[in-house]
Structure 1
Amino acid sequence: MTTTETQPEAAPPSDYGTHPGAFANSFFKRLSTAAGSLILITLAAVATFLLVEAWPAMTMGAEELGKVVSFIKPDQGQSLIEIVGYLVYGTLLISLIALLLATPVSIGIALFISHFAPRRLAQGLGYLIDLLAAVPSVVYGLWGVAVLVPFLQPFYQFLADYFGWIPLFAPPESGEIFTGRVAMSAGIVLAIMIIPIISAVSREVFLQTPKLHEEAALAMGATRWEMIRMAVFPFGRSGMVGATMLGLGRALGETMAVLMIIGPGLTYSLLVLQPNQHNTIAAYIALQFPEANATGVSSLIAMGLALFLITLLVNMLARWIVSRRSEFSGAN
């Protein structure tokens, strides 16, 4: 004779409130909700602060603003809007240089760690790459000025001698020498700074590729590269885009490294090997802020508002791209 043990029925949802852990569950839910809401509140507070503080300069005429702000010169056609235009252009140009240099290197590092390197080497190399993100930007700036810029000067001379017919690599005007403190140098340093971000995110996405997909490709006779091209890249495409946009966000807001390396200028030039041609919003604010008066600070905050909007748009674009393919990739 056998006996059948009856399992106690689960309490209906209406009885969960009397459970001994109900208070902890409710408290944790409210705490999580408050933490999530704090992000939105902080973002709204920052946007409100920038808009309120920048409004006096935004509503002031160029001629009137030029009388109280030293770095705005109406007689040279430099109104606040024109200066912001120059700085937005320089910020995007230097960040684009950094992105073009860093993305292929970062993807290669991520692939090597995730699919080629032995496990022990991959783990140590992953830690080493992640440590690069902890290096302060001022250290990168010092290294760039003391080591990288002198090292790149002969290379810039080579580019100007043999590829000077290309507008990007046009040499300085007669009588000037290559200082190396140009947009290209700033872009290279920024590329080194964002490599850890892009490679770390891409590495984690590549590691999430289903093993069955990889093994199926190899079983059908694909080489290692063909397996990566057919199985890994399609699975991690949106993750790579998200990682690249995160790196771009870091490059857009970088201040000290660019300020220490670049020879500042305000133009719409494509001459990335000539000094005194470009500058970024963040570096310009840091350069002008110590000597700015109240109206000058308002003008600089207006520039910060422009940078805030650019960074916000970049991150929204990245999120939209990732969400489009999140169901079919490792980005979810």
Structure 2
Amino acid sequence: MDALLRSLTRAAAIIVLIMLGGVIISLVDGALPALKTFGFSFVTTESWNPVTEKFGAAAPIYGTLVTAFIAMLIGVPISIGIAIFITELCPRPLKRPISTAIELLAGIPSIIYGIWGLFVLAPLLQAYVQPALIGTFENVPMLNNLFAGPPYGIGVLTAALILSIMVLPFITSITRDVFETVPAMLKESAYGLGCTTWEVVRYIVLPYSRTGIIGGIMLGLGRALGETMAVTFVIGNAHKIHASLLAPGTTISASIANEFTEADGVMYTSSLIALGLILFIITFIVLAAARLLLLRMQKAEGRH
């Protein structure tokens, strides 16, 4: 029986590796015409013109990285704060309803987020938030460029806000589950020594569960990097790099979703597949860096 179990699990692992290899080979094969034609300039060029068959991935790459970064900048602190509240501060009757509500957010289809963002969030931002940001930072160096231009409503910042809402339930759920694995004896001992709730969270809960927290953050980041439909609705889908976060932009996944069905010709299709390959590489680098960080943290803990 043990030999059968070993064989089945080994076969499952090998199948996963074969599927991953097949995806990589397909992406590379489809992207070769564009990569051979444009070379490294494909990554650094902003131009995207299907008529003249001049393609560059700089704008989608920029939009993907910026929206994901802003989404994590907003979503991670809020997610960790909610998890701390649920596990350490929330009254017992409210724990289950709040936890259920967070998990329901994760089950909402991305297209629903996109529709809500386009018809509810974007008009609110256009009418109130974006004019306030423009007026507040218009005389502040550097920030006046980040928040410049007319308030379109849609744009990079709107897409990032939608993404921050979408990653929040994933990071919160994992972080909450990790916090609940902290031994009660450790926390009770800290309280017995006179520690406050903040000190228990800072010195006991967070250090004990930081590996799991980073895992949850990486899961959320993967969702932010690859999200398609919600971003497509609200980012504006413009192949331009603007200094302002209020201006329309695009991401790799949004560009592929918008244009793949209309792609006519080998070069156009190959360029879109090359975008998919770049997104795969970005995601792989992020996950590899996270894994390396976790290994270093584990080694550091072993030394102490």
Q: Compute the TM-score of the two structures, normalised by the length of structure 1.
A: 0.81
Amino acid at match of 1:50: L
Residue 104 (structure 1) aligned with residue 74 (structure 2): no
Shift of residue 318, structure 1, vs aligned partner: 1.6
Question: Is contact 1:181–1:263 with CA below 8 Å preserved after alignment?
Answer: yes
1:318 is matched with 290
CA RMSD of aligned residues (A): 2.1
Q: Secondary structure at the match of 1:59?
A: helix
Q: Quote the residue 1:26 is aligned against.
A: 3
Indicate if the aligned counterparts of 2:63 and 2:250 stay in contact, CA closer than 8 A: yes
Letter in 2 for 1:318: A
Cα distance 1:29–1:240, how it changes in 2: closer, same or farther (>3 A)?
Answer: same
**Is 1:114 aligned to 2:87, yes or no?**
yes
Cα drift, residue 51 of structure 1: 0.4
> Alignment partner for residue 71 of structure 1, among 21, 33, 50?
50
| In structure 1, C-alpha distance between the alignment counterparts of 2:52 and 2:224, rounded to whole Å | 29
How many residues get paired? 289
Q: Which runs of 5+ in 2 are unaligned?
A: 43-47
**Structure-2 separation of matches of 1:130 and 1:273:** 30
Q: Give the corresponding residue for 2:45.
A: none
Offset, 1:195: 0.4
- Answering whether residue 284 of structure 2 is matched by residue 307 of structure 1, we say no
Query: Does the Cα contact within 8 Å between 1:107 and 1:199 map onto a contact in 2?
Result: yes
Unaligned runs of 5+ in 1: 1-23
Note the C-alpha offset of 1:328: 8.4
Distance change >3 Å, CA 228–CA 328, structure 1 → 2: farther
Q: Which residue number corresponds to residue 97 of structure 2? A: 124
- Offset of 1:169 from its aligned partner? 4.2
Q: Give the Cα–Cα distance (whole angstroms) in 1 for the partners of residues 7 and 222 of structure 2.
A: 31
1:157 aligns with 2:128: no
Measured in 1, the distance between the counterparts of 2:34 and 2:298 equals: 42
CA positional deviation for 1:246: 1.2
Q: TM (normalized to structure 2)?
A: 0.89
The counterpart of 1:283, out of the listed 254, 259, 283, is 254
Distance 1:324 1:197 in 2: 24
Q: Is the 8 A contact 1:235 1:328 kept in 2?
A: no
| C-alpha contact (below 8 Å) 2:175/2:212 kept by paired residues | yes
Distance 1:215 1:264, change over 3 A: same
1:233 aligns with 2:206: yes
Q: Is the 8 A contact 1:239 1:322 kept in 2?
A: no
Q: CA deviation at 1:267?
A: 3.4
**2:37 partner SS:** coil
Other-structure match for 1:53: 30
Matches within 5 A, 1:164-175: 164=138, 165=140, 166-172=143-149
Deviation readout 1:92-145 (Å, 9 max, x if unpaired): 001111111101110011111111223342123212211211111100000001
Mapped partners of 2:157, 2:89: distance in 1: 32
Query: 1:186-221 CA deviation, whole Å, 9 max, x = no partner?
Result: 000000000011111111111111222211211111
Residue 10 of structure 1 corresponds to which residue in structure 2?
none
Q: Which has the larger radius of gyration?
A: 1
